[in-house]
Chain A
């Protein structure tokens, strides 16, 4: 092997507690990277993966210090280097592509200025040459009309464009290594797939080393040659990506892979019990022991060493033993014939015409959501999927009475109308519709104890008080598998997964007929997500509840839903039983979405059908997907609303293309492909 470009040697770093105790975030980490190699660092929140990446640049977040070890980049000991020299390397030889480009670009400086700044710092170009080079860089990251982009401010770019601009900035100084901190998290699936394919081709073209930091094994599987799996500040497994993903050795890696829902597999993935050790805690045994299905007494004798097994390094002495099978639990829905909720031809608009617009009688823009209609049966889960701006959350808000409907009707199973806004609904109506929010953190009052949070709806809807309410609240906690001793605790004392459980318990306190789940697992780690999905499924079975489950993650929706509706720009493109929506024939948009999903499988590649342009508003006439559709058949797509083609047992596709001739286009397995840009 040639001299490594990056060499991390036994690096421990962390913060020093008030009592002088050293609380490590990284625990004796060693890692090497050859020039031009691509490494993926994967782990859940708190595993220290971002800290490793920043350490490669010699950067510590405020409050952290190095306890032991070094980080060597290109022959420079990054933490021993004087600040001036370190600053010279940063952004030139080793550059970062940030997690959220939208927030990592200074809002008051134009894109051109920010790239120019990097050039000014790291090259000897004159001002005029810099201007030309900026355009070259913007062209290299394949941004349309570089002259125009250079003059824009960050907020005037779409998410994908911002990410590309950040890449252009990182390329300004002829980098030998690029650090990518969750480079596609927060982007829509299609944008994510496009950016990733672009980064792959860039790595090949320039021969730079790339370090991907991500919680998403799908991203790593697609982008990295080698993968390092981190747990509690340590490497637990490291080796060639294909090898690790096909035959994971460490129980944590196995558990992680098993907890990811797959497009092709219905049912709830296996979850890992327990939680990782707290950041900075002292370790005397294997860090994974509490969650490991193979744990035994020998695991208590100190932290295991990283051992070589073929091409892979594993931190588990029992990695060679046959592992227990992780199985996905098939859902057994008990869907009744009776309806829980019905939407009929609903239109929702946030647009409020101003005084001037009313005077001038300006035509109203097309509503945010239009022609939305579906039936939710009792005991059923309806999944709503789509990219950001597809109107899926808007529909939930309308059902909850948080957004007004312009047209159409929303009715509960007993015929009760839900057209009134939340303020105009009676208590009983409010009780019947409950919502679980994406961000459990923000939806729980930080100044109320868990007990108070759960007893509030009990008092409001059922008039329960005192010991009775207490007992019921404890039963609710029990139902979401939280101990009763959590009652006096405050939300701040709970982990993300626990908070989401409290959110679920609060919704069930009302004994609702319809529960609206808005991206409830999006902020959770995959292992916690699997547990949350299992919880929702179990509660549904026990109570016969009906869910509307909104998510941008197609695999998660597949896992929990009986029926699925695919939305684009607030219009339903395709709806039907999950197994039929997730199989051909597809609506062109469904096909685009499915093709862009990255699975943690080294043998699949995304299929990029449509471009990743983001649309701000739905088109006034015709098909909502007309501007991006790869299968557009003509002007009819622009002018006529596509007809609903019913294929079988409620599977409806809204498209002008004749769907009855079953074209079996497979999704998910593709030959090596060129980016369709």
Chain B
């Protein structure tokens, strides 16, 4: 068992290392270098030299990768070209903001979606299931920027309950930030809930038809206990992968939603950095996203290990 967990961890670490190499190599493969692509037509003379010196571009690529990777492990991603500040400083608050937004969305959506999925699966084809499945279909088909705009129109412009766009500074306190994240969290959760609920529903229906649930009924186990003891743990196992995949979608959704609400998170920073051709910053944010992605999948793997005794055998 501990060796299995260790193996999962080392595999995750290996994946992140590999992603970092690919990302670094991609930037290297671009014509010119970080400084020429940033400075464009001003890439000459002392400006270019200063930039090259600051970024340490005169050193061989392998050494720079080693430096960059070693720094990243300690939270140091180098200097932003545009903002002329250490990237770690730029990112710190924005990371907190995005984590707040995405984390809250995931934290609310996942348990809620699982619960709804169970309810819909248990009451298959009855009014509750039909209305939930219909709503999920709708939430999945409407793109999030449309949902966001509609919510802004209703709750921000007409009812004026929440601000339409965020106008506080990235470093604002939690309470100040709170009214600004209500609408973005709703937009993000809607799609999350829809996907996870549908998977959970299908999975619950499968398990409800299994021999062991029939056996539990014939053993005289009350329905409520059947659902929580025999159905839910088994239905969760296939749903876990979908949850992990949906969280990956959440990372992309965060970028769009942050942009629509002008929310000061990593997403808006990333879009800005791309506009500015600030490659070190883009690299840093992309690496953070990939760490989150791998981390979430690792969590899903570990949760599956905890739920499914069949996976805990040796040789898996």
Contacts and interface: CB of A to CB of B under 8 A. Distances in A.
Interface of A: 54, 57, 59, 87-92, 95-96, 98-100, 103-110, 117-118, 121-122, 153, 155-156, 169, 173
B212 interface: yes
A591 B184 CA distance: 74
B230 interface: yes
22 contacts: A54-B218, A90-B219, A90-B220, A91-B218, A91-B219, A96-B218, A98-B215, A104-B212, A104-B214, A104-B215, A105-B212, A107-B212, A108-B309, A109-B230, A109-B233, A118-B219, A121-B219, A121-B220, A153-B309, A153-B310, A156-B313, A173-B220
A104 to B, nearest CB: 4
Nearest to A90: B220
A103 B210 contact: yes
B218 A155 contact: no
A89 B309 contact: no
Contact of B234 (A59, A107, A169): A107
Contact of B230 (A57, A59, A87, A106): A106
A92 B219 CA distance: 8
B67 to A, nearest CB: 30
A588 to B, nearest CB: 32
A105 B307 contact: no
Find the residue from A108, A109, A156 having the highest chain B CB count within 10 A: A108
A90 B215 CA distance: 10
A332 to B, nearest CB: 45
Contacts of B309: 107-108, 110, 153, 155-156
A103 B211 contact: yes
A117 B229 contact: yes
Contacts of B310: 107, 153, 155
B222 interface: yes
A90 B214 CA distance: 12
B307 A106 contact: no
Nearest to A172: B219
Contact of B220 (A54, A92, A106): A92
Contacts of A121: 219-222
B234 A106 contact: yes
B49 interface: no
- Decide if the interface of chain A is mainly helix, strand, loop or mixed: mixed
A517 to B, nearest CB: 29
B137 to A, nearest CB: 25
Contacts of B234: 106-108
Given A105-B212, A107-B212, A90 B218 contact: yes
B308 interface: yes
Nearest to A61: B214
B230 to A, nearest CB: 5
Contacts of A91: 218-221
B218 A57 contact: yes
A255 to B, nearest CB: 31
Find the residue from B218, B229, B237 having the highest chain A CB count within 10 A: B218
A169 B234 CA distance: 20
A108 B215 contact: no
Contact of A87 (B212, B213, B222, B307): B222
B10 to A, nearest CB: 13
A104 B216 CA distance: 8
Contacts of A92: 220
B217 interface: yes
A96 B229 CA distance: 20
State the 10 A-B residue pairs at the shortest beta-carbon distance, nearest first.
A91-B220, A91-B219, A153-B309, A90-B220, A104-B215, A103-B211, A108-B233, A87-B220, A106-B212, A104-B211
Contacts of B211: 98-100, 103-104
A652 B103 CA distance: 71
Nearest to A122: B220
Interface size class of B (residues with CB under 8 A): 20 to 34
B125 to A, nearest CB: 11
A109 B219 contact: no
A106 B219 contact: no
Find the residue from B212, B237, B308, B309 having the highest chain A CB count within 10 A: B212
A59 B217 contact: yes
Find the residue from B211, B217, B237 having the highest chain A CB count within 10 A: B211
A106 B218 contact: no
Find the residue from A104, A118, A121 having the highest chain B CB count within 10 A: A104
A117 B307 contact: no
A108 B308 contact: yes
B129 to A, nearest CB: 15
B308 A107 contact: yes
Contacts of B308: 107-108
A117 B210 contact: no
A497 to B, nearest CB: 25
Contacts of B215: 96, 98, 104-106
Contacts of B212: 103-107
Interface in B194-248: 210-222, 229-230, 233-234, 237
A108 B222 CA distance: 18
A92 B221 CA distance: 11
B225 to A, nearest CB: 8
Contacts of B219: 90-91, 95-96, 117-118, 121, 169
B33 to A, nearest CB: 37
A88 B220 contact: yes
A108 B307 contact: yes
Interface string B298-316: 0000000001111001000
Given A98-B211, A103-B210, 13 more contacts: A87-B220, A90-B217, A91-B219, A103-B212, A104-B212, A104-B214, A106-B230, A107-B309, A118-B220, A153-B309, A153-B310, A155-B313, A173-B220
A379 B234 CA distance: 51
A178 to B, nearest CB: 12
Nearest to B222: A87
Contacts of A169: 219
Contacts of A54: 218
A116 B237 CA distance: 24
Contacts of B214: 104
A110 B214 CA distance: 18
A84 B241 CA distance: 37
B287 to A, nearest CB: 27
Contacts of A103: 210-212
Nearest to A110: B309
Interface in B249-307: 307
A92 B218 CA distance: 10
A364 to B, nearest CB: 15
Contact of B218 (A59, A105, A110, A153): A59
Contacts of B221: 87, 91, 117, 121
Nearest to A92: B220
Contacts of B233: 108-109
A156 B222 CA distance: 27
Nearest to A62: B209
Nearest to B213: A106
B122 to A, nearest CB: 13
A88 B308 CA distance: 30
A89 B220 contact: yes
Nearest to A121: B220
A100 B212 CA distance: 10
A429 to B, nearest CB: 35
Contacts of A117: 219, 221, 229
A72 to B, nearest CB: 18
A156 B221 CA distance: 24
A90 B216 CA distance: 10
A183 to B, nearest CB: 13
Contacts of A96: 215, 218-219
A384 B313 CA distance: 32
Contacts of B237: 108
Contacts of B220: 87-92, 118, 121-122, 173
A672 to B, nearest CB: 34
A31 to B, nearest CB: 19
A44 B34 CA distance: 76
A117 B225 CA distance: 10
